[in-house]
Structure formats: structure tokens, C-alpha cells
Structure 1
Amino acid sequence: MKKHLIFDLDGTLIDSAPSILEGYDQAFKTTDTPLQVPLRSDVIGPPLIESLKILSGSDDDALLQALAEAFKQHYDSSGYLKSVVFSGVSELLQQLHGAGYQLYIATNKRLYPTEKIIRHLQWEPLFQDVFALDYFQPALSRKSDMIGRIVQDLALPVEECLYIGDRLEDGLAADAQQMDFVLVTWGYAADAAQKKPHWQSCTAVGDLPALIAGNQGIQS
């Protein structure tokens, strides 16, 4: 039985695209840096520096750090407040928590704004813990390593865990730890066409509880 449900955040539980894209726009304008690719939701998901490399077309560390600081200044102070919960998600989390599932978040977003978002949404009582790449010291570089550390540090039986996310990276991170995975397609789902045959998918928030309850013998 799946007892431990690990959720991605952006594109899975919340639509953070408007707030993040606004933060990127502000960062590039305040540093007078030209964008090399359009600001679209498909740049959301990777860690901040990786996204800034794509948007700037540069590996220059000084430039990337300047962009990152400009982004953080806007997003961490007010931008995060514009994150929108996908319809039905708050009710979903309440339902799963009430049914006795242990809920966690594992996100590429930095821990500081993630925790601010969770407090703002009053979701703190629903989650056992919230994990980000920089939750760990030294910070991890890949989501697959984060999923592995969660399982290891909390001594969770992997067969009792289910990772739920909206991107190819999420599924591959679960696969790396031999964890079952559900790809949700109500968010960004930019990688949905690359869905692996052994992954399950869910197109509607309201369908997820039944799918989770039926996850007794999926093999990753």
C-alpha cells in the first residue's frame, strides 16, 4: 500500500508560472540583460541557475549570480504571493491527509520561498516535511538525488512511496530510486509526450485519490 505521497510543487500543486515569469522579467530588466529565449512556462521546473543559463544563453557566473539575486529580491518578497493553487488541489490534500496518507513536497524551487508559499497557503499541517535541493547541505544538484535522500533519511520503504509530478524529470527521478510515479497533466506537462510506459498518468485532480488507492502493485 502507498502510505507516503511525495509531491512536486510547481505545475503539480500550484501554478507559479505568472509569479516566476514576472520575477525573471524583473531580473533581466534590472540587470539590463537581454533574454535569449522567450519567457514561457516551459522554462519553469529546473533549478534557478539552470533556468537563468537557458534564458541568458550564458555560463558567466557573475552574470548568473546577479540575475539570481535580482530574481530572489522580487520573488521572495512579493512575487511568491501570486502563486495560484490549481482548482481542487487544496481539497485533494485535505482528503489525502484525512485518509491517513503521509504527504511530502520535493521541489527544485529553493527552500526559502517554498516554505513561505506553504505558510501563505496554510498547508503546513498537511505535510510531514518539505524538501528542496538546498534543504540538504551541501545542496544537491539533481531531483533524483533528493528523492533518494528523502527515502534514506526518513527510512521510508520505497515500495510504500509514490512520487507525483508534472515533468519528465520527476518521473526519471522516481525511476532512479525505483519508486512508482504518477504524471499529472493539469499543470505544465511540457514533457507529457515523453511519458514512460510504466508510469501512470492523471488528467484531473479529482481522479487522483482513486488512482492512489489503486496503486498497490505498480512496478517502476
Structure 2
Amino acid sequence: MKKHLIFDLDGTLIDSAPSILEGYDHAFKSTGTPLKMPLSNDVIGPPLIESLQLLSGQDDDALLQSLAKVFKEHYDSSGYLKSVVFDGVTAMLQQLHQAGYKLYIATNKRLFPTEKIVRHLQWDQYFQGVYALDYFQPALSRKADMVGRIVQDLSLPIEQCLYIGDRLEDGLAADAHHMDFVLVTWGYAADASQKKPHWHRCTHVDALATTIADLKG
């Protein structure tokens, strides 16, 4: 069976769009920086600086750091509280935990607000570990590297691992380590059409536990 379940966060367990988009809007307005593209779910998922580059259309480090500072102050103090749990997710995590699975989070979101969200939702009882790109020092640049470090540092057998996420990047991160992957489509899934033939797919939270149980190590 798949014993170790690694979850993406945004778009997989929580709808963070309301909180993140509000934070971006606040950052751009506060700094007087014009937006070069609309605030939409398309910018949810990548690392913060990468999203700010897309939204501003600029690579100026000073500007990006200024935007990031304002965003972090807002998001880390109150914005993160507006994240919405997808219906059925908490019950699903409890079910998997009680069934003996080991659960982990691997997200592009920064570690500090991620841990605050997990504690706020009282999910720390379910997860063995919470990982972000900046959990590691020096910080990693790709989700594929993060998944690899989790497997390596915890000595997890690849055949017993499963990554669960809502974006193409998540699936490619699993593929980089020959790990099975489930693409969930109740979140953002902006690139679900790019699903690879060997990936598994789940369209409803209530069906995920069954999908996982059907997979063999």
C-alpha cells in the first residue's frame, strides 16, 4: 500500500485564493505599483517572488523585495486566516490518519504562514511533517527538489510514497523521483488538461481515500 502521503497545500487542501489575492492587491496598491496582469487564480501556486514578477512584469529586485515585504506583513498577520478549507478535507485527513497513513505537506508557500495555517486549522495532529522551499537551508528553488529532499531525509521508500496536488508542477515533481501522483481537480487545476497518462486523477474529496487505497506500492 501507499504508506506515505505527501500533499500540496494551495488548491489541494485549502482555497487560499481569497487571502493571497487580497495580499497581492494590498501590496501593489500600498507601493503604487501597477499590475501588468489581472489578479486571478492563475498566480496561485508558484513561489512568492515568481508570482510578483508575473504580476508586475518586472525583474527589478528592489521592487520585488518591497512588494514581498508588504505582502508578507499583511498575509502573515491576518491574511492567512482567510484561507478556506475545501469541503470534506478535514474529515478526509482524519480518515487517512486513523487508517495508519503518514501524512506530510510539501508546498511552495513559505514555511512561516504554512505552519500558522496548519495550527489554526488544528491539522498539526494529522501531519508528520510540514515542508516548504524555505524549510531547507539554503532555500530550494523547485518543488521537485523539495520532494526529493523529503524522501531522502526521511529515508522513505519511493514505492510507498504518493504525491497529491492540483497542478502540472506537482505531477512533474513526483515524476522527477518516479513517485506515483494523484491530480486533484476540485482546486485550481488550471493545467489539468496537461495530465500525463500515468497520473491518477480524483475529482471529489470524498473519493480520495478510496483512490489512495486502490494504489499498490
- Identify whether the pair has TM-score above 0.5, normalized to the shorter chain: yes
Partners of 1:13 and 1:45 lie apart in 2 by: 12
Matching residue's letter, 2:82: K
What is residue 123 of structure 1 aligned with on the other side?
123
> In the comparison of the two structures, how many residue pairs are matched?
217
Shift of 1:68: 0.2
1:83: how far off?
A: 0.2
- Quote how far apart the aligned CAs of 1:46 are: 0.3
- Structure 1 gap ranges (5+): none
Partner of 2:146: 146
Residue 210 of structure 2 is matched in structure 1 by: 210
Deviation at 1:123, TM superposition (A): 0.4
Amino acid at match of 1:181: F
Q: CA offset at residue 53 of structure 1?
A: 0.2
For the pair 1:105 / 2:105, whether they are aligned, the reply is: yes
- Structure 1 runs (4+) deviating above 3 angstroms are none
Q: Could you tell me how far apart the structure 1 residues matched to 2:87 and 2:42 are?
A: 21
User: What amino acid maps onto 1:213 in structure 2?
Assistant: A
Query: Partners in 1 of 2:51 and 2:122 — Cα distance?
Result: 28
Structure 2 residue matching 1:198: 3-state secondary structure: coil
Report the CA distance between 1:21 and its aligned residue: 0.1
Letter in 2 for 1:74: H
Partner Cα separation in structure 2 for residue 178 and residue 31 of structure 1: 43
Q: SS in structure 2 opposite 1:210?
A: helix
2:143 and 2:178 map into 1 onto residues whose CA distance is: 14
Structure 2 counterpart of 1:22, one-letter code:
E
- In structure 2, what residue type is equivalent to 1:131? Y
Two-structure CA RMSD over aligned residues (Å): 0.5
User: Structure 1 residue 15: deviation in Å?
Assistant: 0.3
User: % of aligned pairs identical?
Assistant: 79
TM-score by length of 2: 0.99
Q: What is the Cα deviation at residue 47 of structure 1? A: 0.2
Compute the displacement of 1:185 (Å).
0.1
Cα distance in 2 for residues equivalent to 1:177 and 1:38: 34
Are residues 1:166 and 2:154 paired? no
2:56 paired with 1:73: no
